């Protein structure tokens, strides 16, 4: 009887997200319960492990009972006018922490690359002002709702929908999207109003395949971590999601959803995603780098390069898909 009671209390803790008096009114917090992991908390709150680590400034995946975690983007307070770079930080994690874009963060701090160093002070207030004054939304005057949006690095359909007071479903319907995949430079309609012809740009693939592969190889040797989606530890889909995101390409988080949202091709080319059936259906994936090789986060060895003709991988090879 005691065991059942403890279980019920634990379940309640998992499902309950509370507001703390110390938090901003719109910041949602969660209190860690016995048996929790970052992966479980992220899943229950429909966010990613990467979001959790960025919003809570975590340097590892270790959490403890009673710890308070933000499960929604932190609000930029007036006192948050600057941020000092810590070990393990990158522009994307800092941008997510303050709910701004990498592009605005770079613009406000006059950065010409994604390279930052420990101890560097970044202006957050100026970046948030750049974000609020951004001209990416096309409009005829201040009182008219924008009718289109130009996708920037770090964007996702959910973030764009939230910022424009609409649902992801409506955003996808208006733009005829069949998946959640978007890319930098893509123009999305925010309403059914006609957009001026001069404001429309051609949707083209803007990432470089060789740069994608170079980025992926940077993480060779990073250990495998179930639910991991950061350089401290990756699972297979978290690794793919992270590498594509670094090139400005937003793709789904799980192997099955990546499989569903990408285009089937007959033979792999560099930058394609190869899939394997380690369980029922697509359950493992990697990025094809040429010469029958692919780079992936292996559960046994972490991020590594393997051969499609390997005696283990060849029999369970499921197929290849392309992001565009």
d(CA 272, CA 320): 7
The verdict on whether 24 is a catalytic residue reads no
The verdict on whether 236 is a catalytic residue reads yes
Separation of first and last alpha carbons in the chain: 55
CB 298 within 8 A of CB 304: yes
d(CA 215, CA 231): 12
Output the CA–CA distances (angstroms, integers) from residue 224 to 187, 227, 319, in the order listed.
Answer: 36, 9, 23
Neighbours of 177 (CB within 10 A): 16
Report the chain's C-alpha Rg in angstroms: 21
Active-site choice (24, 64, 110, 284): 284
Neighbours of 221 (CB within 10 A): 9
Greatest Cα-to-Cα distance within the chain, rounded to the nearest angstrom: 69
Active-site choice (64, 90, 110, 296): 296
Kindly give the residue spans of alpha helices, DSSP state H, lying in 71-223. Answer: 91-97, 102-108, 124-132, 157-163, 168-175, 209-217
Active-site choice (24, 90, 110, 236): 236
CB 212 within 8 A of CB 287: yes
The verdict on whether 90 is a catalytic residue reads no
State the catalytic residues. Answer: 236, 284, 296
């Amino acid at each position: 009887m005691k065991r059942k009671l403890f279980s019920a209390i634990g379940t309640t803790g998992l499902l309950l997200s509370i507001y703390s008096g110390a938090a901003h009114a719109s910041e949602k917090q969660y209190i860690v319960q016995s048996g929790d992991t970052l992966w479980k908390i992220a899943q229950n709150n429909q966010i990613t492990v990467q979001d959790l680590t960025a919003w809570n400034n975590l340097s590892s995946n270790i959490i403890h009972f009673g710890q308070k975690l933000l499960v929604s983007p932190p609000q930029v307070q007036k006192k948050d006018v600057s941020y000092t770079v810590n070990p393990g930080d990158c522009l994307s994690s800092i941008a997510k922490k303050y709910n701004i874009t990498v592009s605005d963060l770079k613009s406000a701090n006059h950065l010409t690359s994604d390279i930052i160093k420990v101890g560097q002070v970044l202006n957050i207030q100026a970046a948030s002002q750049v974000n609020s004054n951004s001209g990416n939304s096309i409009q005829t005057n201040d009182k008219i709702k924008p009718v289109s949006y130009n996708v920037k690095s770090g964007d996702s359909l959910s973030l764009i929908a939230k910022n424009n007071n609409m649902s992801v479903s409506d955003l996808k319907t208006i733009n005829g999207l069949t998946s959640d995949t978007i890319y930098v430079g893509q123009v999305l309609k925010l309403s059914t109003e006609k957009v001026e012809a001069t404001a429309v740009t051609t949707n083209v693939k803007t990432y470089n395949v060789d740069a994608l592969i170079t980025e992926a190889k940077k993480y060779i040797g990073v250990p495998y971590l179930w639910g991991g989606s950061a350089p401290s530890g990756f699972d297979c889909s978290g690794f793919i999601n992270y590498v594509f995101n670094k090139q400005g390409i937003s793709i789904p988080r799980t192997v099955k959803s990546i499989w569903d949202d990408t285009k089937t091709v007959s033979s792999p080319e560099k930058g394609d995603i190869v899939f394997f059936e380690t369980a029922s259906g697509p359950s493992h994936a990697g990025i094809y780098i040429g010469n029958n090789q692919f780079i992936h986060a292996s559960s046994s060895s972490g991020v590594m390069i393997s051969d499609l003709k390997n005696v283990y991988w060849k029999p369970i090879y499921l197929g290849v898909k392309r992001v565009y």
